Amino acid sequence: MKVKYFGLICGVILSGVFLSNHKVNADTDERTINFSGYEWTVRNSLSLQGPGPNYFSGNDDSVWVDDAGRLHMKIKNIDGKWYGSEIRNKQALGYGEYRFYMSSKVDVLDKNVVLGLFTYDHNSNDAEANEYREIDIEFSKWGEDESENSQYSLQSTYQRPDRFKMFNSYLEDGDYTTQSFNWTPNSINFESLYGHYKVPPADYFRYNSFTYTGDGIPKPGLATTHINLWLLKGMAPSNNKEVEVVIKGFEFTPYTPTEIIPPSEEPEVEVPPAETQLPEEEPEDTEPPSTENPQPEEPKEPKTPTVPITKLFKVVTGTFIGESNVQKAQKDLFDKLGVSANINYTFKSIPVYNIVTGEFIGKNNVDRAIKDLRSKIGWNAKSAPTGNFVSVYRLSTGTIKGKANAEKVLKVFKSKTGLYVVTEKVSGNTYKLVTSGYIMGEEKAKGQLNVYGKIAKKNNWVVRAEKTKDSLPKYRIIISGFYGDEKVNTYKQDFQQKLKWDMHTQKIEDVNLYALSVKNIENEDAANTLINQMKGQLHWSASKQEQN
Among residues 224, 95, 216, 213, which one has the least CA distance to residue 155? 216
- Looking at 471, 500, 529, which one is the last position of a domain? 471
Whether 116 is in a domain gets the answer yes
> Pick from 436, 452, 471: which residue ends a domain?
471
For residue 317, give the nearest of 530, 97, 547 by alpha carbon.
530
Q: Quick check: is 456 in a domain?
A: yes
Is 343 inside any structural domain? no
DSSP letter string, 312-352 = EEEEEE--EESHHHHHHHHHHHHHHH----EEEEEEEEEEE
User: For position 17, which CATH number holds?
Assistant: 2.60.120.200
Confidence of residue 339 (pLDDT cuts 50, 70, 90): confident
Provide mean pLDDT across the span 488-506: 90
- According to DSSP, residue 535 is labeled I
Q: Is residue 375 part of a domain?
A: no
Q: 3-class DSSP state for residue 503? A: strand
Predicted confidence band of residue 548 (pLDDT cuts 50, 70, 90)? low
In CATH, what number is assigned to the domain containing residue 438? 3.30.70.1070
The tens digit of pLDDT for each residue in 309-333 reads: 567 889 999 889 888 888 989 988 9
Q: How far apart are CA 476 and CA 271, in angstroms?
A: 86
> Could you give the count of Cα atoms lying within 13 Å of 148 in the half-sphere of its Cβ?
18
Per-residue pLDDT at 535: 84
Q: Does residue 268 belong to any structural domain of this protein? A: no
Residue 236 has pLDDT above 60, yes or no: yes
Say what percent of the chain tops pLDDT 70.
Answer: 84
Whether residue 444 is predicted with pLDDT greater than 70 in this model: the reply is yes
In a domain, 378, yes or no: no
Sign of the CA dihedral running 534, 539, 540, 541 = positive
Flag whether 86 is in a domain. Answer: yes
Could you give the 3-state DSSP secondary structure of residue 241?
A: coil
DSSP one-letter string for 428-471: TTEEEEEE-S-EESHHHHHHHHHHHHHHHHHTT--EEEEEEEEE
Q: pLDDT tens, 170-182?
A: 887 678 999 999 9
Confidence of residue 502 (pLDDT cuts 50, 70, 90): very high
Q: Quick one: pLDDT at residue 32? A: 96
Q: Tell me the average pLDDT across 483-495.
A: 88
Q: Does the pLDDT at position 272 exceed 80?
A: no
For β-strands 188-194 and 113-120, DSSP reports them as unpaired
Query: What was the pLDDT predicted at 443?
Result: 87
Calculate the alpha carbon distances from 446 to 449, 452, 471 in Å.
5, 10, 17
The answer to whether the CB of 535 falls within 8 A of the CB of 198 is no
Tally of structural domains, the chain: 2
Q: What mean pLDDT value characterizes the chain?
A: 83
- pLDDT confidence tier of residue 159, bands split at 50, 70 and 90: low
Confidence of residue 252 (pLDDT cuts 50, 70, 90): very high
- Domain with 433, as residue range(s), is 389-471
Would you say residue 362 lies in a domain?
Answer: no
| Residue count of the chain | 548
Phi then psi for residue 234, to 5 deg, are 70, 10
445-453: list long-range contacts, CB under 8 Å, 24+ apart.
445/393, 445/395, 448/395, 449/395, 452/395, 452/417, 452/419
pLDDT at 130: 87
Q: Count of alpha carbons within 13 Å of 36, Cβ hemisphere only?
A: 22
Residue 13 has pLDDT above 50, yes or no: no
Share in percent of the chain as helix, strand, coil (round to 5)? 20, 40, 40
Single-letter amino acid code for the residue at 229: L
CA geometry: angle 373, 377, 381, nearest 5 deg:
45
Give the span between the Cα atoms of 25 and 23, in whole angstroms.
Answer: 7
Average pLDDT for residues 357-383, to the nearest whole number? 88
d(CA 156, CA 163): 8
Per-residue pLDDT, 171: 82
pLDDT band at 298 (very low <50, low <70, confident <90, very high): low
Which residues are CB-contacts of 463 (< 8 A; sequence separation ≥ 6)? Answer: 395, 396, 397, 398, 449, 452, 453, 456
Query: How large a percentage of the chain has pLDDT more than 90?
Result: 44
Instruction: State which of 220, 254, 288 marks the end of a domain.
Output: 254
Asked if 477 and 377 count as a contact pair (C-beta separation under 8 A), the reply is no
- Predicted confidence at residue 15, as pLDDT, reads 34
β-strands 206-212, 243-254 pairing: unpaired
pLDDT digits (tens, 9 = 90+) for 412-435: 888 888 888 899 999 999 999 898
